[in-house]
Chain A
Amino acid sequence: MDQNRQGARASYIALSIFVALWILVPSAVRRFNREAFVEFQAPALHLVGKSRDMATFWEKKSRSVEEMTAAGRDLARINAALEIKINALEDIRRENVRLREITRYNVPAEYMSVVARVATRDSSSWWQRIVIRKGRNDGIRPGAPVVFGNTVVGRVTAVHLTTSEVDLVTSPGFRCTAYLEGDDQNHIVLVNGVASNSLGTAKARVSVIPRDYSMPAGQPARVFTTGMGGVFPSRLVIGYLDGGTYATQVGSFKESLLIPSRDLYNLQEVSVLVPLHQNPGEALMQGDQFQ
């Protein structure tokens, strides 16, 4: 009995000492610990991602020959259509190059594209954040935009050695400027994620929509990046306006919800557009300077 009591007392004392030490240690040590934990966790995240890829691979491999033939036929048709599109785009590219040569206009490359597989979604915020299998070793820097094709997925918020965390468009930490399809005057509007309840549907909001803006008839209006903020390249699709716009009581402007252009739940692969030159905001996001 006494031995049990002594054991319990020792546990409490050890816990108290640990808590006291944790409070007293310098923040750099705590940050190191956090980073070390993330790095410790990274192989597991890689393993999870790769297992999922493997499962998908075997699931596809188990399809019947008829299914594969049909899929191959569909793919051939899509390929044929894309071939035509590629030719058309090539013509446009050549014309573009010709015009640039005439005007002696040199456009420097501004972004380096890094393709990354999605490792996992952050369980604490299911819809809002994903972890990708590329990190500092691959040249990724915080603040870089994350896209899939020409659609915006989110933004890198934290970079570790081999993994990075990405705030999705629906994350409350995501904010960018946008243009609306059908707005001839190109007013800038604000897109930001909305904090949602656990298990609630993740949302983003489009605000500061001019009151005289009306959506194009017959189709949901697309929301594009402006390229003015120095982070996102211009004309990437962020999403679509959700059905309609509604006026806020203070007047003058309207708001709407945003439907992300990609199914964020099923993302498998994304591209990180790493700016070739550091922008001021990126410098602020470096923890040691910003805090």
Chain B
Amino acid sequence: MPDQFLYAVEVIINGLMAGVLYALVALGFVLIFKASGIFNYAQGVMALFAAMTLVGIQKGQIPFAKLINTVMGTELEHFPWTVPVIPAIILAFGVMILFAIIVEKYILKHLVNQPEIILFMATIGLAYFMEGFGDIMWGPEIKKLDVGLPQGGSFWIEDMTIGLGGENFYGFFIDKLDMVATVVAILLVAALTIFSQYSKQGRALRAVADDHQAALSVGISLRFIWVLVWSIAGFVALVAGIMWGAKSGVQFSLSLIALKALPVLMLGGFTSIPGAIVGGLIIGVGEKLFEFSIGPLVGGATENWFAYVLALIFLVFRPQGLFGEKIIERV
């Protein structure tokens, strides 16, 4: 087979896997938007905060150590222990649940029945607060994330496929981390689907998503549902933070991964979990394939803007997104 065709296939495979990573971020947005109509600007920062918390717990770092040292004149840095990966992930999730409770109690509760734009503004404030809070709590330096995830291309796939093309084909490159991310995303979506379809809380969540007032009238606690959905979004943020943090280390820029989720949301719709996944895959493949085929002709760096072009094209024909709910307002 011609090398260029095989390389295009390689780009498509890698685009699909990049799309899964985008979808992981987009999922958090969808969950919160679906349950509360809030576009959570803080979703990217939640991923950063969750990953910072995970690393801090793993390494036994004392939270707010710098602040304590400055005020008290101490030289605290670490507890005399480290925490294994799984308990550290559970504890980090616990912190995200605590975060959800605090957000509900001190922000959302006071904004019930406010216009959506006010809630959106509140999440902007929350995002900037969390950026600073995370820095003070865990320090701004780049942290190496070590949760045992594999890194690098799969030699096995490379060796198995090297004979498919001519001498200029070096086998398919598929990142092992991306493969893990794909498996994790599939498990996550399956778990979310089972939870929302078959659990009592899941059905309550869907009821709130369909109609707040009706859900309230049958005794569903809106406050509990908000805590629940922000906790789940916190867990999704933790997973996204782990996957992206494994690539670059845990650092401030993790919060910017939200930028990668926006075209996915535009394309897949703000209210659909399958939409987030399929949207992520389309954006991932579309931008990578465009960069591969057209990028060299226009000087490269096409991915960021082409993702939005792709999303806009879909938006023109399906304003509610690929899988979003069509809004019909009757007079």
Tell whether A and B belong to one assembly.
no
